[in-house]
């Protein structure tokens, strides 16, 4: 699709052209891909809209198949902390691709990225690269079970750890409960080994440990939850988890697939000064290419094959292109002023959205950590999954569609965080805030 370069494109209101190319492409896609997509949220079902087929991204902007451009707050769901088609990433990838895209053999690049990760997150003494966050969480659970000789795991309602069977379980209530599969195809016996606790509810974790003594291998948690919308850990929650896990002989696994290198260079574990036994990473460490990693205590990681007996492998694991994009991204992020810039942009957006909501007399609860932000359509602060689910998703849908028409590509679900990148300018943010004011007013009228 030819067109003007996106960068520096002036952003104007109400110039949306049609969506007819996206509609046509979606119709065709549905013939060959279930629901027309490769990941459900992309279908825009929750917000009753037509998914926009993206043809190009540059900096903070994306353009669709009809030539509409948008300020992007999805940023590939987190990996693109530098924005789209960042020059240094593209150059590094061109160079790497010219030397071969995959060998299925060891490269020095993997050790370099692993060393950078271990330095940034000192709880990670060793790392294994995989190709997705799902694989990272799945493999960390297998390893925890092998290390402890136990079967059960504790997860939290509203936390997402990818789509591996034993983690596709959520009690759906703040009450501790036996796992019920969230998806057909997850067997009851798999779900039975997954115990579900309430986020920010240490008592529910205590009850599970008491009810299932000596059988819990690990507690897995998003240290800052970002898959039910953004929810902060309450004061003492993470340290309490660590104490409870230790007292009961279970491992503590931080799933930092979103938060790693996002909320701080050293992730949420740096902010909260907690040293989990194992950590899962993904998203940013692949710089926009498919990647995941798990790592942690040396005595545990040495159980992974071939140094130990826990089998885990991957044809494209440690892929040279993904690792190159990861190294280049982390080299850029290593400058501490980056996180200050992201914090300032996040603060500007949060303040602006709060003022817009106030102008429109719309009670909203805005949660933010650095460059991660969720606008909850609820007057109450959101502290767990039960509260998140009480939000008005129909009004969120109207907000989403209104913003899209104004050229703002907000995450297409109430239960996701918006992602800012370094490429988002003050101008982008002020355009976004103005659009939000207009959309929220329309909703109120």
The binding site for ligand PLP (CB under 6 A) comprises 132-134, 137, 160-162, 222, 227, 255, 257-258, 282, 292
- The SS3 call for residue 310 is strand
**Which of 61, 73, 265, 283 is flagged as catalytic?**
283
| Whether residue 4 lies in the annotated active site | no
Q: Between 63 and 161, whose beta carbon lies closer to ligand PLP?
A: 161
- The SS3 call for residue 43 is helix
| Burial class for 332, CB neighbours closer than 10 Å (0-12, 13-18, 19+) | middle
Q: Residue 350 phi/psi, 5° resolution?
A: -60, -50
Q: Residue 159 phi/psi, 5° resolution?
A: -85, 140
Q: Between 282 and 296, whose beta carbon lies closer to ligand PLP?
A: 282
Q: Is 270 left (phi over 0), alpha (psi -120 to 50) or beta?
A: alpha
| Whether residue 255 lies in the annotated active site | yes
Which residues on neighbouring strands pair with residue 419, listed in sequence order? 372
Residues 6+ apart with CB under 8 A from 140: 218, 220, 253, 278, 280, 294, 296
71, 221, 418 from 61: Cα distances, Å:
5, 32, 14
| Whether residue 20 lies in the annotated active site | no
Q: Between 114 and 224, whose beta carbon lies closer to ligand PLP?
A: 224
Question: Which residue lies nearest ligand PLP, judged by its C-beta?
Answer: 133
Shortest distance, position 237 Cβ to ligand PLP, whole Å:
16
- Among 259, 253, 208, CA closest to 232: 259
Q: Is 394 left (phi over 0), alpha (psi -120 to 50) or beta?
A: alpha
CB–CB of 421/81 below 8 Å?
A: yes
**Which of 64, 72, 255, 384 is flagged as catalytic?**
255
Query: What CA–CA distance (Å, rounded) separates 431 from 352?
Result: 10
Q: Between 134 and 421, whose beta carbon lies closer to ligand PLP?
A: 134
Shortest distance, position 234 Cβ to ligand PLP, whole Å:
18
Shortest distance, position 334 Cβ to ligand PLP, whole Å:
23
Shortest distance, position 357 Cβ to ligand PLP, whole Å:
26
Quote the tokens at residue 106. Answer: 């060891």
Q: Between 209 and 294, whose beta carbon lies closer to ligand PLP?
A: 294
Virtual torsion, Cα 319, 325, 326, 329, nearest 10 deg: 180
Shortest distance, position 261 Cβ to ligand PLP, whole Å:
13
Q: Between 22 and 132, whose beta carbon lies closer to ligand PLP?
A: 132
Q: Residue 16 phi/psi, 5° resolution?
A: -55, 130
Shortest distance, position 132 Cβ to ligand PLP, whole Å:
4
**Which of 160, 265, 272, 294 is flagged as catalytic?**
160
Shortest distance, position 54 Cβ to ligand PLP, whole Å:
18
Q: Between 280 and 436, whose beta carbon lies closer to ligand PLP?
A: 280
Question: What is the set of active-site residues?
Answer: 160, 255, 283
């Amino acid at each position: 699709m030819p067109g003007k370069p996106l960068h520096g494109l002036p952003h104007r209101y109400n110039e949306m052209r049609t969506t007819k190319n996206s509609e046509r492409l979606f119709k065709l896609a549905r013939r060959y891909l279930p629901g027309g997509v490769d990941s459900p949220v992309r279908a825009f079902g929750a917000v009753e809209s037509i998914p926009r087929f993206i043809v190009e991204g540059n900096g903070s902007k994306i353009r669709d198949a009809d030539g509409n451009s948008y300020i992007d707050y999805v940023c590939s769901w987190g990996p693109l902390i530098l924005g789209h088609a960042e020059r240094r990433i593209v150059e590094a990838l061109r160079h790497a691709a010219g030397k071969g895209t995959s060998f299925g053999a060891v490269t020095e690049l993997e050790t370099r990225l692993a060393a950078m990760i271990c330095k940034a997150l000192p709880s990670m003494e060793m790392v294994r690269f995989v190709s997705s966050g799902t694989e990272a969480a799945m493999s960390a659970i297998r390893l925890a079970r092998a290390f402890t000789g136990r079967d059960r795991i504790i997860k939290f309602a509203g936390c997402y750890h990818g789509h591996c069977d034993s983690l596709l379980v959520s009690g759906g209530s703040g009450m501790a409960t036996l796992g019920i599969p969230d998806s057909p195809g997850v067997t009851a016996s798999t779900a039975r080994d997954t115990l579900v606790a309430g986020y920010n509810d240490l008592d529910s974790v205590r009850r599970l440990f008491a009810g299932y003594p000596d059988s819990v291998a690990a507690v897995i948690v998003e240290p800052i939850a970002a898959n039910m919308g953004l929810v902060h850990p309450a004061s003492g929650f993470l340290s309490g988890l660590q104490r409870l896990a230790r007292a009961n002989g279970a491992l503590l696994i931080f799933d930092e697939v979103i938060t790693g290198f996002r909320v701080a260079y050293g992730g949420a574990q740096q902010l909260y000064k907690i040293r989990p036994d194992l950590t899962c990473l993904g998203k940013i460490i692949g710089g926009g290419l498919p990647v995941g990693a798990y790592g942690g205590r040396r005595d545990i990681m040495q159980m992974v094959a071939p140094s130990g007996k826990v089998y885990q492998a991957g044809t494209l694991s440690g892929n040279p292109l993904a690792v190159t994009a990861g190294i280049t991204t982390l080299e850029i992020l290593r400058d501490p002023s980056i996180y200050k810039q992201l914090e300032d942009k996040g603060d500007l957006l949060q303040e602006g959205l709060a003022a817009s909501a106030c102008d429109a007399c719309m009670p909203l609860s805005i949660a933010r950590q650095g460059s991660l932000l969720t606008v909850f359509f609820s007057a109450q602060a959101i502290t767990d999954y039960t509260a998140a689910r009480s939000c008005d998703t129909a009004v969120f849908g109207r907000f989403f569609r209104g913003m899209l028409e104004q050229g703002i590509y907000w995450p297409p679900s109430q239960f996701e965080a918006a992602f800012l990148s370094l490429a988002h300018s003050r101008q982008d943010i002020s355009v976004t805030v103005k659009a939000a004011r207009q959309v929220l007013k329309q909703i109120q009228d």
